Amino acid sequence: MKEDAKKGKGALYGVLKKEILTMVRRPGSDLDEAQLAEEFSVSRTPLREVFRQLAGEGYVELRENRGARISDMSHTTLRDFFLTAPMIYGAVMRLAARNARPDQIDDLKATQELFKDALRTGASEDRALSNNRFHEITGDMADNIYLKPSFKRLLIDHARIGMTFYQPQDTHMEENLTAASSQHDAIITAIENRDEASAAQLATDHWNLSKNQIELFVMPNQLDIPLGSPSLKAARG
């Protein structure tokens, strides 16, 4: 019985994480405890343990007397995302080149192959998940207690923005994905060579590639407006 409960708890965590990253569960939506407990054959105690774990990682928000809900994405969170992403990506990649272990590099290479497979099949969900995993590994490589929580939260919204706004049928998008894959390969090489400067520069290049695509769909005229600008306030309405 304990083994079954453990399996149910692990399955619940994995499914919720995947469904949040791929936008099956929408930002800000509530989680139905009774429905999830029945579906995964777990009691309320392990279910709430999963909720707490996901909350600690940034996937859900816990509200007193109101239950759990999927972490929201608002104009404010998107604005913060664009401001902080390049700084955090650069720091993580630099530290990854310094601290990566051989087994982590092997894991990174294997995940890159999954990303390439997803590009060949055109499966947007698999692409988002393998790309997310690739960057999660670099965060583990960085091995920094201050950066890791922020980086994990950043990756959640990066995956969700990608699922929301990327258009796989767009030729320009396909070109960007091919370029992103090549940059992944270069990142692996830089990390293997312990080349911190190159890893940091590749992080900037990789971010700019994503940013340019996202700008086509997310507030394209407002991304470079300074915080507090009247134009930004007006745009938010």
- Domains plus CATH for the chain? 2-70 (1.10.10.10), 75-214 (1.20.120.530)
- Amino acid symbol at 112: Q
Query: Smallest Cα–Cα separation from 135: which of 210, 79, 80?
Result: 210
Angstrom distance (rounded) from CA 20 to CA 12: 12
Quick one: pLDDT at residue 212?
Answer: 72
Angstrom distance (rounded) from CA 62 to CA 56: 10
Contacts of 8 (CB under 8 A, 6+ apart): 40, 41, 42, 46
The conformation of residue 145, written as its DSSP 8-state character, comes to T
Quick one: pLDDT at residue 85?
Answer: 92
- Amino acid symbol at 105: I
Quick one: pLDDT at residue 172?
Answer: 63
Virtual torsion, Cα 187, 189, 194, 196, nearest 10 deg: -30
Token pair listed for 57 = 């990682």
Contacts of 123 (CB under 8 A, 6+ apart): none
| Consecutive 10-residue averages of pLDDT for the chain (237 residues) | 70 94 93 92 90 94 89 85 92 98 98 94 86 96 95 92 64 76 97 98 91 63 42 38
The conformation of residue 66, written as its DSSP 8-state character, comes to T
**3-state DSSP call for residue 63?**
strand
Query: Smallest Cα–Cα separation from 156: which of 12, 54, 46?
Result: 54
Quick one: pLDDT at residue 202?
Answer: 97
